[in-house]
Amino acid sequence: MEIEIEDPLLNNNNNNNQKVVSDEAGSSSLSLSSENMNSNDYVDDTIEEEDDDDGAFDYDDDDGDYMFDNDQDNDNDDDDNDYLSMQAQFDNVDLPPGVEASFSWLGNPVSAEAKLGTDVASSSSVPVAVESPVCESAETKELVLSEEEMKIKYKDFKLFDIVADFSDHHFNGAGFQGLEPPRSWTKKIQDEWKILEKGLPGTIFVRVYETRMDLLRAVLMGPEGTPYHDGLFVFDVHFPPTYPDTPPMVYYYSGGLRLNPNLYDCGKVCLSLLNTWTGNGNEKWMPKKSTMLQVLVSIQALILNAKPFFNEPGYDDRYPGAEGERKSKAYNEEMFILSLKTMMYTLRRPPKHFEELVGLHFRTRAHAILSACRAYMEGVPVGSITDEKIPDEKSGSKSFQVAVARMLNGLISNFSRSGAADCDQFRV
């Protein structure tokens, strides 16, 4: 299946202009005027792992990315024991594909003050978020912002901004290496900035760098109605010297988790528009037409979708009807658990320049996330809650209900420490 989405700047209805066609090979292909998907290593072997031999850019995470800050602090909070015992399996900065990130740092989160304040600059090549003493709960400390002030700041957080510190960027070592970029390249990047500033939807946030125009960082919110709802997903982007003749390089901060067939645990993003997957015609990167905005909207709308199981090439044909729906629901359950884990370490170690957004987001959305978890524990299917309305259907698996229950109290403790009020009502 191939899906095509028109450029949001050319059509105000960004996400509704999708065209579905079938390619000759019967594989799935995603496109924003483009796009596609590749293999997945599903935990229960529902999805078979396929080798990645396309010779693409090496996305291995070996440079001290912010999610893997390797401190050794411990927290004996009983509410987190189940979560910590489930997560604290490894304690290495460099994670090979398939190995989850260590969560030893869960005991010392970024405080609500740090997240709701200004960005903190760091000259370290392995930046560490500002630390402050852990508070017992939202009730035992003075909240930095009132609820109304918090909602206003959250709503007004800039979608696009230019910042200075790029020290923790994944592609920090790439670029022109001190050479002056061509004027044509600089002009193209400036054009991209203008498109992003005018055209970003309200759920995609971008920071670019005044002294490193080749770098960009984006945070995407997981769409409602998907197993990624309410999550924050972080991507670093590099515009190579050959841009726009070649597409941008995009790295996903996975935390060692494979939560989508197109988002590899090594950080690779598999998308036709990035030329990291097969595609025909305008599914691929087109130097004179394709934009960075198209890439970001494609990732959010076409990768983080309601049925990511079918992003796998050929799975529409291989698993038709009821069997496909059963496998898709099981896959969604697995992906929601991984999304909760992603929330956890993003909350504890937010990306630079997005500390405030992360704090505001999870303080604002804590009750909706916890309500969804309680509904899922009662059998409500993953992704079926829209506008915070809970359906009557109860088809979730027992094992999934148990998995969510094991994580719930840990989520509550961390949301409370971040400044979210009245979360204890959701405890089990």
Structure tokens at 188: 């193209």
The 3 state secondary structure assigned to 322-360 is HHHHHHHHHHHHHHHHHHHHHHHHHHHCCCCCCHHHHHH
CB-count exposure of residue 222 (10 Å: 0-12, 13-18, 19+)? buried
423 in catalytic set: no
Longest CA span, the chain: 62
Give the C-alpha separation, 55 to 170, whole Å. 19
CB 66 within 8 A of CB 129: yes
Q: Which residue has the tokens 């602090």?
A: 73
Structure tokens at 344: 């956890």
Residue-by-residue DSSP string for 42-85: -TTSSS------S--------S--GGG---------GGGHHHHH
Strand 29-30 and strand 160-163: the pairing is unpaired
- Exactly one of 135, 266, 270, 423 is catalytic; which is it? 270
Give the C-alpha separation, 131 to 113, whole Å. 10
- What does DSSP assign to residue 260? B
Fill in the amino acid letter for 92: N
Give the C-alpha separation, 305 to 228, whole Å. 8
Give the C-alpha separation, 160 to 199, whole Å. 10
The 3 state secondary structure assigned to 269-287 is ECCHHHCCCCCCHHHCCCC
Query: Residue 251 pairs with which residues in a beta bridge?
Result: 236, 268
Residue 383 backbone class (left: φ over 0; alpha: ψ -120 to 50; beta: rest) = left
Give the C-alpha separation, 299 to 304, whole Å. 7
Q: Enumerate the active-site residues.
A: 270
